[in-house]
Amino acid sequence: MNVLVLHPGALGDFLLALPALRALRSTYPEDDIEWITQPSVLRLFAGSGLYNRGISIDSASSALLFSDFFPRHDFPVESVDAAVAWVTDRDGALSRNLRAL
């Protein structure tokens, strides 16, 4: 299973989400969990085992998730079975693009 976690918040907000992220890892110990978050958060939790791969929220590929034009082949994640997103999706673009994955 491939799980994508999208959390654009700063470190304090991220720390508040940490119990949920630990529960996610314990529920899916052998599965791939990919985080899209702040680069500082990725560095802080590198080697923690809570995620397999991290993508900077500041990257161009992350911005594609929120666009009406989503070139799936340019996104660094091939498929997503489940997603957890700590964001508002007013226009539905994020939901559409995650379903496309």
pLDDT in tens, 34-81: 999 999 999 999 999 999 999 999 998 888 888 888 777 778 888 899
Residue 74: the pLDDT is: 73
Amino acid at 30: E
Which of 44-52's residues contact partners 24+ apart within 8 Å by CB, and which partners? 44/11, 49/25, 50/21, 50/22, 50/25, 51/5, 51/25
pLDDT in tens, 74-84: 788 888 999 99
The pLDDT confidence band at residue 19, using thresholds 50, 70 and 90, is: very high
d(CA 77, CA 57): 14
Residue 75: the pLDDT is: 80
